[in-house]
Amino acid sequence: MLRCGRFSFDLSRPRVMGIVNVTPDSFSDGGRYFNQARALDHARQMVADGADLIDLGGESTRPGAPPVPEADEIARVIPICEALAREGIAVSVDTRKPGVMRAAIAAGAAMINDVCALTAAGAVEVCAAADVGVCLMHMQGDPQTMQAAPAYVDVVADVRAFLVARAAACTAAGIPRERIVLDPGFGFGKTVAHNLALLRSLHAIVATGFPVLAGLSRKSALGQITGRPVDERMAASLSAAVIALARGASFLRVHDVRETVDAMNVWLAVERGA
Ligand code: 7PJ
């Protein structure tokens, strides 16, 4: 079981996390309310399609993306978090900032998903003071520079050691084990070879005993393998998702919820009988 605020996830079957970005984008100049209404509709559709939780992000962590001020991130994400939580939907908020974490928790977030694994000053304390789940992700470097020259002694051992150390810091601060998820952070300071090694050996992270989240959906490593642009990576994403399931992932963080649920159900039927 993973405990996340008023939600508990029985991890005897894997769970799908639908990605909803609330960043201003080039396809829409309709302003904040338009974007927020669209994000809400998108999230509700994902839940109808079988998402177990919705991951809301107000700051792009794509390689080279500029930082977003805390007040802007709060204005983007918190109204949507509040609205979805009121509808009984489990919401995860993807943020690195303790101030946004605090606002998300007050707005009913079930999980804090942090690509910095709660390393910002005060982040662990904010999460320890609430009953939210936490997703601790590994990243080498920071989003501005992480893809410049990623290097590891042994990528699987290095990532695993980092995640175990962050989980220990969290439990020492009072976050129970039952609230912690680990994530190797595909694409965050990793070459294609690093990403492949991590996916191939995902069971080594699963062997820590913590539930593992895999986020491979539409990522650039899949683009490099297939030669496809970002909007043509669904097949590659589904393939990566099933590989992650076969290696023990408990959560899949994806854009294409309906298709991922189908792929997962085929895998589950084969593994466990329909
Ligand atoms: C991840 C994330 C991931 C977790 C992003 C993208 C980049 N959070 N946030 N794991 N990726 N936990 O979706 O392409 O892999 S943003």
In ligand 1, which atom is closest to the CA atom of 137?
12
194, amino acid identity: H
Structure letter (DSSP) for residue 68? -
89-128 per-position pLDDT tens digit: 999 999 999 999 999 999 999 999 999 999 999 999 999 9
pLDDT at residue 144 greater than cutoff 90: no
Find out whether 28 and 22 touch, Cβ atoms under 8 Å: no
186-238 per-position pLDDT tens digit: 999 999 999 999 999 999 999 999 999 999 999 999 999 999 999 999 999 99
Please give the model's pTM, rounded to 2 decimal places.
0.96
Using alpha carbons only, give the angle 51, 159, 271 rounded to the nearest 5 degrees: 45
| 43-82: b (≥16 Cβ within 10 Å) or e | bbebbebbbbbbbbbbbbbebeeeebebeebbebbbbbbb
Widest CA span in the chain: 49
Interhelix angle for 70-86 vs 98-106, to 10°?
A: 20
Q: What's the gap in Å between 135 CA and the centre of ligand 1?
A: 11
Q: Is 186 in the pocket of ligand 1 (CB under 6 A)?
A: yes
Q: Residue 190 has which token pair?
A: 């990793």
Q: What is the mean pLDDT of residues 245-262?
A: 98
Task: Give which of 139, 142, 136, 185 is closest to 163, Cα–Cα.
Answer: 136
Chain mean pLDDT for the chain: 94
The catalytic residues are: 219, 253
Instruction: Label residue 26 by pLDDT band (50, 70, 90).
Output: very low
Mutation test residue for ligand 1: of 2, 22, 188, 202, the one with most atoms within 8 Å of CB: 188
72, amino acid identity: D
